[in-house]
Amino acid sequence: MRAVLEYWSVLAHGLWVTVWVSFCIIVGSIPGAVILGALRLSENRAVRLTSTIIIESIRAPSALVLLYWVAYALPLVPGMPRLSPITAAIVVLALDGAAYGAEIVRAGIEAVHRGQFDACHALGLSKIQGFSRVILPQALSQIVPGFGGLARSMIKWTAIVSFIGVQDVMYVANYIRGQTFDTVAVFCVLAALYWLLTILCGVMFRGLEQLLPLNRALRSSRVELNLTSNLVSESVQ
């Protein structure tokens, strides 16, 4: 373990790269997940079919295969850009997260009572206005918990970016293992770091859940109900 700790500065750099990539792919996947999830519920059959094909085309192959394809095969296609390893990693994993997150968004929207959609129509709101101002804020109470679990998985997905040369914590751990030959200690430290990152991510999303308007309203209603119940009990006594 002492030999491993001698490389703490290199390990810290690799951890920072992992944190940065994780942040980028989680944030980057959110718009795609919301758009694809909403399109999956479109009344237009062609739109629904197109969004489904996009989602399944991204989800079907392994993320590692997509990563290799974007990093190594795409630049060989005439007119296609050559992305840096870290850019390719962020693009691929963000798209993968968006494809999986789309189903979470779809389920969250479907959990909203149908009467809310009818109310938006009755108020004369456009579909975009109704979705952004009424439906999505209510659906977030279902979407955020599911997306929090996905985000924790996405942090672990970043382990594959070392395969294309991104010097993340996995890449650095393999380097340290090659220098110290202390495999057990290196991978124990690596497991602890991933465990810490996923725990922190879970705490952040649980905190975000508490800030959602619908959840705050539900907590307020529970407090008022408890106060009413206490007053009734005291009056009876």
Please report the pLDDT score of residue 122 as a whole number. Answer: 74
Integer Cα distance of 4 and 167 in angstroms: 17
Stretch (H or E) spanning 114: helix 114-122
User: Which string of b and e fits 104-121 if b means at least 16 CB within 10 Å?
Assistant: bbbebbeebeeeebeebe
Report the pLDDT value the prediction gives residue 237, as an integer from 0 to 100: 55
pLDDT, tens digit (0-9, with 9 covering 90-100), for 181-237? 888 888 898 999 999 999 999 999 888 888 776 555 555 555 454 545 554 455 555
Query: Could you tell me which residue, 213 or 133, shows the higher pLDDT?
Result: 133
Q: Which fold has domain 2-236?
A: MetI-like fold (1.10.3720)
pLDDT of the residue at 215: 57
What pLDDT score was predicted for residue 155?
Answer: 94
pTM flag (> 0.85): no
- Pick from 156, 161, 157: which is nearest to 70 by CA? 161
- pLDDT number for residue 232: 47
pLDDT tens profile 89-115: 999 999 999 999 999 998 888 877 777
Task: List, for residues 139-192, the tens digit of each pLDDT value.
Answer: 887 888 888 899 999 999 999 999 998 889 999 998 888 888 888 888 898 999
Sketch the domain layout of the chain as residue ranges.
2-236
Q: What average pLDDT does range 108-134 have in this prediction?
A: 75
